[in-house]
Amino acid sequence: MRADAARNLDAVLQTGARLLARDPGTSIAAIAVAAGVDRRTVYRRFKTREALMAAVHAAKLDACEKVVAEARLTEAPVMVALHRYAEGIITVSRRWPVDVQQVQDETAAARLYRLIEQLDAFMARAVREGVIRPGLPDRWARSLLVHLTNVASHEMPELTTAQGADMVVQSLITGLGPA
């Protein structure tokens, strides 16, 4: 792909993520205008808004998978991995503000499910290593982690990603730390 075509695609995907997160009914034409490209450019690549949304979801899932890999959830010390994950996901969520829970195709849903499984396994590891107290309902710690990163990402834009990650980790551990 030519450099200008890659830039245009990235602009369309990021603009689409931002606008579709606010209003799922946003037209492709409106996304093209906001991205600074001709609508024909967008329509050549994406025949429908749903196809564009699927590409945005795929881009966000790609970025989330990279964050999970770089956080090293299975081998890094729990607190280090937790902070890396939070900081990375805040960055991804701000760049791609769409909700991947809304994925429509089976492939994307399977990718999301694998990410959730990895987070659940990481939280189980955090319990085994005494970072999070045992006896909490299944999925509680992971659900809270996801919620806290969403709050830091979207409701606290004044926080840097590092500050947001600090707040996420502190809130999670203080609220769920050993009794």
Q: How far apart are CA 24 and CA 36, in angstroms?
A: 20
Q: Contacts for 82-88 with beta carbons within 8 Å, 24 or more apart? A: 82/122, 82/126, 82/131, 82/145, 82/169, 82/172, 82/173, 83/165, 83/166, 83/169, 85/122, 85/145, 86/145, 86/148, 86/149, 86/152, 86/164, 86/165, 86/168, 86/169, 87/161, 87/162, 87/164, 87/165
pLDDT tens digits, residue range 22-64?
Answer: 998 899 999 999 999 988 889 889 988 889 999 999 999 999 9
pLDDT of residue 3: 82
Mean pLDDT of 126-136: 94
Mean pLDDT of 141-148: 95
| Chain centroid offset of residue 34 CA | 22
Mean pLDDT of 138-156: 95
User: Closest Cα to residue 36, out of 65, 2, 72, 12?
Assistant: 12
Model confidence, pTM? 0.90
pLDDT tens digits, residue range 82-116?
Answer: 999 999 999 999 999 999 988 888 999 999 999 99
| Chain centroid offset of residue 87 CA | 11
Mean pLDDT of 3-25: 89
Q: How far apart are CA 163 and CA 42, in angstroms?
A: 36
Tell whether the model's pLDDT for residue 175 goes beyond 80: no
